[in-house]
Amino acid sequence: MTNNSWPHKVLLLYEGTNFGGDFDTSILYGLEAHGCEVTCLSRGKAWSPDYDLVLGYGPFTLQEGNILPVAKQLMAIPEEKRPLFAWWLTEGIPNPNHPHWFVNIASKLRLKADQWLLTEQSARSRWRDLALKGHRLRILGQLNHVRERQLLDVLAVTSASRANYLRQWGFDPIVVPLGNYAVYGGDMGLNRDIEVGFLGNTAAPRRQQLLPGLFKQLEERGFQVVVENNLYGEDRNKFLNRCRILLNVLRAPQDFVGQRFLLAAANKTLVISEPVNDSLPFVPGEHMIVTAFDDLAEKVHYYLTHEDERQALADRAHQFVSEELTAVNMVGRILEQVRQTQATKEKAKIGV
């Protein structure tokens, strides 16, 4: 029977690039803190079935992010010897406004393209760009693939809105936000000489439409926005430690940006955001500020001229991610669900 010391041996599948490095480091720490013996391996590599749990996570970027090789290896293991398979989805979902029939067809076509690219070795370089198209449809198509083959035992997602969407497609996910760990930064005591920062892809169509006007409004109030498109690790943490305020303007209206909130809180930077569908576990007015897009510039002006209030919000968010929203606690939620799933399987075997 399972107990609180199970699973013992865990295989943590990482993407194979530095893009997912923070995820891998924080999840590894969380697993080891719960007493797990962890092996880390790239998703595309072969592995033995001698594990209690195989755990993967998003992002699904590029060919290394493909979940299909993992599914193939799981299918090759006899069911009675197959380890539990859990996935922590940290990426976005297809646009909820798209018709169900369209998403159904498009995600299946995207899955077929991935399957073809895996079998046609010579086509990978010539059709590499195909692996980058329809990214969120790809996620849904591949998750459906593993679920339909009864390979997916536990699916964790980082927000309630993503969970609600996936339930419409027959999944039963649990909500587990990303947890804080030292890799996401901390208070370095640096001079916060950047009044307003923006961290993210400014080439996204929605941001191209909205950001120039917002930046102009802030410039008219005497505030220049410092933009960083491609910062990771220590460089990103130093940038956030220099920012007093981090702007959040969504790439797509349905996006959940919990990682951005987590990063800002870890580095004691106040987030001022346009409305989001789902900010939990971060609470507007307690850990961050959410306001109508047209009021963003005015809110930035207010908190830059009321430093005590800005600092109090940033301190509260930092305390929250340091004491409650930790990698150890969030990984613990997944492990608890894994134990419950294993216990259910064991009862089914003996006919209870």
Residue 45 pLDDT > 70, yes or no?
A: yes
CATH number at residue 144: 3.40.50
Rounded to whole angstroms, the Cα distance separating 347 from 304 reads 58
For residues 192 and 246, is the Cβ–Cβ distance under 8 A?
Answer: no
For residues 152 and 53, is the Cβ–Cβ distance under 8 A?
Answer: no
Residue 34 pLDDT > 70, yes or no?
A: yes
Q: Are residues 163 and 233 in the same domain?
A: no
Rounded to whole angstroms, the Cα distance separating 201 from 131 reads 19
Q: Where are the beta strands (DSSP E) in the chain?
A: 9-14, 37-42, 53-57, 84-89, 154-157, 174-175, 194-199, 225-228, 243-248, 270-273, 289-290
The pair of three-digit structure tokens given for residue 247, joined into one six-digit string: 């702007």
Q: Are residues 137 and 47 in the same domain?
A: yes
Rounded to whole angstroms, the Cα distance separating 263 from 266 reads 5
For residues 331 and 30, is the Cβ–Cβ distance under 8 A?
Answer: yes
Task: Give how many domains the chain has, as a whole number.
Answer: 2
Nearest to 170 by CA among 146, 201, 206: 146
Host domain of residue 311: 182-323
Q: Are residues 18 and 159 in the same domain?
A: yes
CATH number at residue 188: 3.40.50.2000
3-state secondary structure of 149: coil
Task: Tell whether 1 is covered by a domain.
Answer: no
Rounded to whole angstroms, the Cα distance separating 39 from 13 reads 8
* Per-residue confidence (pLDDT) for residue 174, from 0 to 100: 97
Q: Are residues 69 and 99 in the same domain?
A: yes
pLDDT category of residue 97 using cuts at 50, 70 and 90? confident
Residue 158 pLDDT > 50, yes or no?
A: yes
Residue 352 pLDDT > 70, yes or no?
A: no
Q: Which residue has the higher pLDDT, 212 or 46?
A: 212
* Per-residue confidence (pLDDT) for residue 63, from 0 to 100: 54
* Per-residue confidence (pLDDT) for residue 19, from 0 to 100: 43
**Residues contacting residue 308 through CB under 8 Å, at least 6 positions apart:** none
Give CA separation, 134 vs 35, 90, 114, 298, 305, in Å: 39, 17, 11, 37, 43
Q: Where are the beta strands (DSSP E) in 192-288?
A: 194-199, 225-228, 243-248, 270-273
Q: Are residues 81 and 135 in the same domain?
A: yes
For residues 202 and 247, is the Cβ–Cβ distance under 8 A?
Answer: no
Rounded to whole angstroms, the Cα distance separating 209 from 73 reads 44
Region 237-257 average pLDDT = 88
Q: Are residues 168 and 25 in the same domain?
A: yes
pLDDT category of residue 22 using cuts at 50, 70 and 90? confident
Q: Are residues 79 and 111 in the same domain?
A: yes
Residue 231 pLDDT > 50, yes or no?
A: yes
Residue 93 pLDDT > 90, yes or no?
A: no
Task: Tell whether 302 is covered by a domain.
Answer: yes
Burial degree of 7 (CB within 10 A; 0-12, 13-18, 19+): buried
Q: State the pairing for strand pair 84-89/289-290.
A: unpaired
Q: Which residue has the higher pLDDT, 63 or 195?
A: 195
Task: Tell whether 2 is covered by a domain.
Answer: no
For residues 118 and 66, is the Cβ–Cβ distance under 8 A?
Answer: yes
Q: Are residues 155 and 60 in the same domain?
A: yes
Q: Are residues 233 and 333 in the same domain?
A: no
pLDDT category of residue 18 using cuts at 50, 70 and 90? very low
Residue 127 pLDDT > 60, yes or no?
A: no
Q: Which of 5-14, 121-130, 263-272 has the highest mean pLDDT?
A: 263-272
Q: Are residues 171 and 204 in the same domain?
A: no
Answering whether pTM is above 0.85, one says yes
Q: What is the pLDDT of residues 300-320, one digit of tens each?
A: 999 999 999 999 999 999 999
pLDDT category of residue 278 using cuts at 50, 70 and 90? confident
Q: Are residues 145 and 226 in the same domain?
A: no
